[in-house]
Amino acid sequence: MKIKNIVLGVTGGIAAYKAAELTSRLKKEGYDVRCVMTKSAQQFLSPLTLQTLSNHPVITDLFAAPTTQWNVEHIALAKWADVFIIAPATANIIGKMAAGIGDDFLSTCVMATKAPIVLVPAMNEAMYEHQAVVDNIALLKKRGCFFIEPAVGKLACGDSGKGRMEEPNVIVDYLKRLGRYDLTGKKILITAGPTREALDPVRFLTNHSSGRMGYALAEAAYERGALVTLISGPVNLAAPTGVDVIKVDSALAMYEAVLARFDEQDAVIKAAAVADYRPETVSAEKIKKKDGDWLVKLVRNPDILAELGGRKTRQILVGFAAETNDVEANARKKLVAKNLDLICANDITEAEAGFGTETNRLTIYRKDQSKISLPLMSKKQAADLILDQIGQLWQNE
Ligand SMILES: Cc1cc2nc3c(=O)[nH]c(=O)nc-3n(C[C@H](O)[C@H](O)[C@H](O)COP(=O)(O)O)c2cc1C
pLDDT in tens, 280-307: 999 999 999 999 999 999 999 999 999 9
Say which range, 156-160, 185-189, 374-378, 380-384, has the weakest mean pLDDT: 156-160
Q: Does domain 5-178 have CATH number 3.40.50.2300?
A: no
Name the band, by pLDDT with cuts 50, 70 and 90, for residue 146.
confident
pLDDT at 349 over 90: no
| Nearest Cα to Cα of residue 254 among 308, 203, 200 | 308
Per-residue confidence (pLDDT) for residue 358, from 0 to 100: 80
Dihedral sign for Cα 152, 154, 160, 165, please: negative
- For atom 19 of ligand 1, which residue has the closest CA? 92
CA pair distance 389, 374, nearest whole angstrom: 12
Contact 86, 78 (CB under 8 A): no
Residue from 17, 40, 101, 130 whose mutation best tests the ligand 1 pocket (most atoms within 8 A of CB): 40
Residue 227 CB partners (closer than 8 Å, separation 6+) = 185, 186, 187, 188, 244
Q: Using the atom order of ligand 1, give the atom closest to the CA of residue 165.
A: 8
Instruction: Please enumerate, as own/partner, the contacts of 321-324 that have beta carbons within 8 Å and a separation of 24 or more.
Output: 321/345, 321/346, 322/273, 322/346, 322/348, 322/354, 322/355, 323/347, 323/348, 324/348, 324/349
Distance (angstroms) between ligand 1 centre and the Cα of 284 equals: 54
pTM of the model: 0.62
Q: Using the atom order of ligand 1, give the atom closest to the CA of residue 90.
A: 11
Per-residue confidence (pLDDT) for residue 233, from 0 to 100: 98
Catalytic residues: 157
pLDDT at 111 over 90: yes
Distance (angstroms) between ligand 1 centre and the Cα of 11 equals: 7
29-61 pLDDT, tens digit per residue, is 999 999 999 999 999 999 999 999 999 999 999
pLDDT at 354 over 70: no
pLDDT at 75 over 80: yes
Per-residue confidence (pLDDT) for residue 1, from 0 to 100: 61
Mean pLDDT of 231-258: 95
Contact 93, 58 (CB under 8 A): no
CA pair distance 362, 354, nearest whole angstrom: 9
Mean pLDDT of 141-167: 85
- For atom 31 of ligand 1, which residue has the closest CA? 13
Distance (angstroms) between ligand 1 centre and the Cα of 334 equals: 56
199-240 pLDDT, tens digit per residue, is 999 999 999 999 999 999 999 998 888 989 999 999 999 998
Of all residues in the chain, the percent with pLDDT exceeding 90 is 77
Fold of 187-395: Rossmann fold (3.40.50)
Count other Cβ atoms within 10 Å, centred on residue 231: 28
Q: Residues near ligand 1 with C-beta < 6 Å? A: 11-15, 38, 40-41, 90-93, 122-123, 127
Per-residue confidence (pLDDT) for residue 272, from 0 to 100: 97
**50: phi then psi, degrees, rounded to nearest 5:** -70, -35
Residue ranges matching CATH 3.40.50.10300 in the chain: 187-395
CA pair distance 63, 154, nearest whole angstrom: 38
Count other Cβ atoms within 10 Å, centred on residue 326: 11
Residue ranges matching CATH 3.40.50.1950 in the chain: 5-178
Per-residue confidence (pLDDT) for residue 353, from 0 to 100: 65
DSSP 33-76: EEEEE-TTGGGTS-HHHHHHHHTSPPB--SSSPPSSS-SSHHHH
pLDDT at 355 over 80: no
| Nearest Cα to Cα of residue 122 among 97, 153, 100, 144 | 153
Residue 32 CB partners (closer than 8 Å, separation 6+) = 4, 5, 6
Per-residue confidence (pLDDT) for residue 247, from 0 to 100: 98
Name the band, by pLDDT with cuts 50, 70 and 90, for residue 142.
confident
Distance (angstroms) between ligand 1 centre and the Cα of 271 equals: 42
